[in-house]
Structure 1
Amino acid sequence: MIFHLGELFCGPGGIGWGATHADIGNEEFGIVHQWANDLDESTCRTYTRNICPNEPESVYCEDVHTLDIEKLGAIDALAFGFPCNDFSLVGSKLGFKGKYGPLYTYGIEVLKMYRPMWFLAENVGGLRSANEGKAFDKILSDMKDAGYRIYPNLYKFEEYGIPQARHRIIIVGIRDDLPFEFKIPAPTGEMKTCRQAIEEPPIPADAYNNEPTKQSAQVVRRLNLIGPGQNAWDVDLPEDLKINTKTRISTIYKRLDPEKPSYTVTGSGGGGTHIYHWAEPRALTNRERARLQTFPDDYVFEGSKEQVRKQIGMAVPCEGAKLIFEAILKTFAGIEYDAVEPNIVDEE
């Protein structure tokens, strides 16, 4: 069966790419784009260019609060990486009281209206503990009430060959009148380093979104005193190079360890948060960041340099999404695959 996928909060297309490239070796099972929605204009241009260049009208660049979901059209599957700002471990932790907390409910509305056969929902690992766990319990309850059996799991993407320590709650739901039981795909056992991701093969000289980063003389001096895998707090910096902040976030001016996966790629933040090369005294380019998120080099991001940074940081790793979508397709095709018991606790 070919599943027609709708997406809310589609972002630049990490989920969309993973879905449309999912391949289980059986042409009768696949996923195709049907429609998508996001609020940000440059993000929508990125999604359209890379996922559905011949169907720009299928991408609705609108605020989900006022989006007419009746016009979207029937779908077999839904994906929604609902905005995670208020569920993140970094930030205000407002949960349901915040501006973004209730946005998952628009996904619930689509599930109730179109009754797709399955869905995939994604959020940060901090979702599990938001509002003392009440937010997560409420979300799962609403998904069940919409008519779905649900399979939540905390995926540690570095355990699946993604060159980045990125931990995300992903909830797969299967409509409860269908006889299929999803299983959590087992980690691949492969570990890919950030050096491998960025250097093998080398990024083409004419690659898009690979503009060199510009560092001040002070930042260059600071980075030259920080070793691979270290941050600004790990070394005794001279007074004029010290960071004067009340909170000591571990990723401030942190340089990558070339023999490990990257730390989590983020989409925003000021000085010291851009992810720093292990050997060169500079921040990564957007294309290097995209490689850590497993976007292919021909994936073109639209917008300004900071808009592109935000898009890349908020995306789901393409290859990570692909792996989970392939497990869903195998579930419906009756193909066995290595599986593990679900886990929703981040011990780190």
Structure 2
Amino acid sequence: MKKITYRLGELFCGAGGLALGAKSAHILNHEFDCSISHVWATDYDMSACETYRRNICPDNPESVICCDIRQLSFEKLQSISPIDGLAFGFPCNDFSIVGEQQGINGTYGPLYKYGVTALNFFNPQWFLAENVSGLKNSNDGRAFDIILEELRNAGDGYEITPHLYKFECYGIPQARHRIIIVGIRKDLDKIFRVPSPEPYKNVDVSCRKAIENPPIPRFAYNHEFTKQSQVVIERLKYIKPGENAFTAKIPTQLQLNVRGAKISQIYKRLDPTKPAYTITGSGGGGTHVYHWSENRSLTNRERARLQTFPDNFIFYGSKESVRKQIGMAVPPRAAEIVFNALLSSLLDIQYPFIPSNIIAVKSLFEGTHYTFNESNGEYQV
């Protein structure tokens, strides 16, 4: 039996959703014992780094570098350990369908370039990049073209497979749709194929099962209940499972005074028979996800359940920081599925797969010329 361990480095690591999925991925048969091990990670959020250290690498806390990536030394990371794989869920703020949608020209949009720079510097055998579904349409689709092209041409060149995953189709109790781009270095002559959701079609993905089976102990970590105001409690009494503050029949005095766009997740109750709607990491009143029968928002531990974090995964920091860490994470169970498919691809092991739903042609720039304007820091056609 051949033992193979791929050393993983991670940028924008957050609390460790991708890392936990990578650590859980494992191929074991009569030929191979193949796994992924953490060697270093970095993020700018101190609380997220502490969560990562204590859950992912408690015996090697120094391997997590808390630093703004714009001041990060790749040489320092290289001195910790060389890597075989790189993972990065680059900041999604500017690509989200909620917000100003500045895309590649926003504050956070250009940060994907540090992933490209890391691929050029480390030239790992493979990479996995993750972002929100809005990335595909950002800047009228041009941002996605640019990102794919730069990832493809980084290092010694990569065969890339982008795909928009609907995690609820993979046994995750949450309607969370994310783009994951997997790249395998061209000289390895391997192609990643998108794992099929077929094996998970009979999995109960209801939020009731995720939250209640097994029950969460009252004094579990990160299970503090929010003290709801009386107005919110009264409002929730009129909202049925699956309804929100704008679709429910609420008395005039309890209605929200909102003009313009009405976000469907405001004071929205979960439907216990269905997957949860997307757990987010930020947002004001009414965005905290609401229980289907109790007149309250979910606790952080309940949100973590919907994100498939195990109960022994403890989050550190303030209550709002923990909420952010959970909402920004990749569901570990979903990450494990993708990483297992990646390992199988590298080992030429067959598994059920489907065609990618995103076409990544050989040259996305044919007939179109993109330039970077240094005076304003924006890409232009």
TM-score tier, shorter chain, comes to over 0.9
Summarize the alignment of residues 137-216 of structure 1 with structure 2, pairs less than 5 Å apart: 137-146=145-154, 147-187=157-197, 188-189=200-201, 190-216=203-229
- How far apart, in 1, do the equivalents of 2:284 and 2:92 lie? 19
Match in the other structure for 1:221:
234
Q: Which has the larger radius of gyration?
A: 2
Match in the other structure for 1:250:
264
- How far apart, in 1, do the equivalents of 2:101 and 2:52 lie? 29
- Which of 18, 22, 25 is the equivalent residue of 1:22? 25
Shift of 1:161: 0.4
SS at match of 2:127: strand
Contact 1:76 1:118 in 2 (8 A): yes
Match in the other structure for 1:127:
135
Pair 1:2 & 2:2 matched: no
- Please list the CA deviations of residues 258-296 of structure 1 after superposition, one character each: whole Å capped at 9, or x if unmatched: 000000000111110000000100000000000000000
- How far apart, in 1, do the equivalents of 2:49 and 2:258 lie? 36
Pair 1:99 & 2:107 matched: yes
- How far apart, in 2, do the equivalents of 1:46 and 1:144 lie? 32
- How far apart, in 2, do the equivalents of 1:321 and 1:155 lie? 11
SS at match of 2:280: coil
- Please list the CA deviations of residues 107-149 of structure 1 after superposition, one character each: whole Å capped at 9, or x if unmatched: 1111111111000000000000000100000000001111111
Match in the other structure for 2:245:
232
SS at match of 1:33: strand
Which shifted more, 107-116 or 287-296? 107-116
Shift of 1:235: 1.9
- How far apart, in 2, do the equivalents of 1:41 and 1:125 lie? 27
Shift of 1:257: 0.1
- How far apart, in 2, do the equivalents of 1:98 and 1:296 lie? 35
Pair 1:331 & 2:345 matched: yes
> Structure 2-normalised TM-score?
0.89
SS at match of 2:33: coil
- How far apart, in 1, do the equivalents of 2:343 and 2:219 lie? 36
SS at match of 1:85: coil
Match in the other structure for 2:371:
none
Match in the other structure for 1:298:
312
Contact 1:207 1:298 in 2 (8 A): no
Shift of 1:28: 2.3
Match in the other structure for 1:288:
302
- How far apart, in 2, do the equivalents of 1:344 and 1:263 lie? 23
SS at match of 1:319: helix
> Structure 1-normalised TM-score?
0.97
SS at match of 2:162: strand
SS at match of 2:28: coil
Shift of 1:24: 2.4
Identity percentage over the alignment? 59
Summarize the alignment of residues 103-114 of structure 1 with structure 2, pairs less than 5 Å apart: 103-114=111-122
Shift of 1:205: 2.9
Unpaired segments of 5 or more residues in structure 2? 360-381
Contact 2:224 2:300 in 1 (8 A): yes
Contact 2:26 2:33 in 1 (8 A): no
Contact 2:27 2:33 in 1 (8 A): no
- How far apart, in 2, do the equivalents of 1:142 and 1:153 lie? 17
SS at match of 2:98: coil
- How far apart, in 1, do the equivalents of 2:168 and 2:28 lie? 25
Contact 1:169 1:344 in 2 (8 A): no
Q: How many residues align?
A: 345
Which shifted more, 299-308 or 232-241? 232-241
- How far apart, in 1, do the equivalents of 2:252 and 2:140 lie? 41
Pair 1:39 & 2:47 matched: no
- Please list the CA deviations of residues 288-347 of structure 1 after superposition, one character each: whole Å capped at 9, or x if unmatched: 0000000000000000000000000000001000000000111112211000011139xx
Match in the other structure for 1:72:
77
Q: Amino acid of the residue matched to residue 324 of structure 1? A: V
Contact 2:265 2:287 in 1 (8 A): yes
- How far apart, in 1, do the equivalents of 2:28 and 2:221 lie? 31
- Which of 37, 51, 56 is the equivalent residue of 1:51? 56
Summarize the alignment of residues 240-279 of structure 1 with structure 2, pairs less than 5 Å apart: 240-246=253-259, 247-279=261-293
- Please list the CA deviations of residues 226-272 of structure 1 after superposition, one character each: whole Å capped at 9, or x if unmatched: 00011011122112210111220000000000000000000111110
Q: Amino acid of the residue matched to residue 28 of structure 2? A: G
Contact 2:160 2:181 in 1 (8 A): yes
- Please list the CA deviations of residues 204-241 of structure 1 after superposition, one character each: whole Å capped at 9, or x if unmatched: 23310001121011101100110001101112211221
Large movers: runs of 4+ above 6 Å: none
Contact 2:268 2:286 in 1 (8 A): yes
- How far apart, in 1, do the equivalents of 2:183 and 2:257 lie? 46
- How far apart, in 2, do the equivalents of 1:206 and 1:75 lie? 40
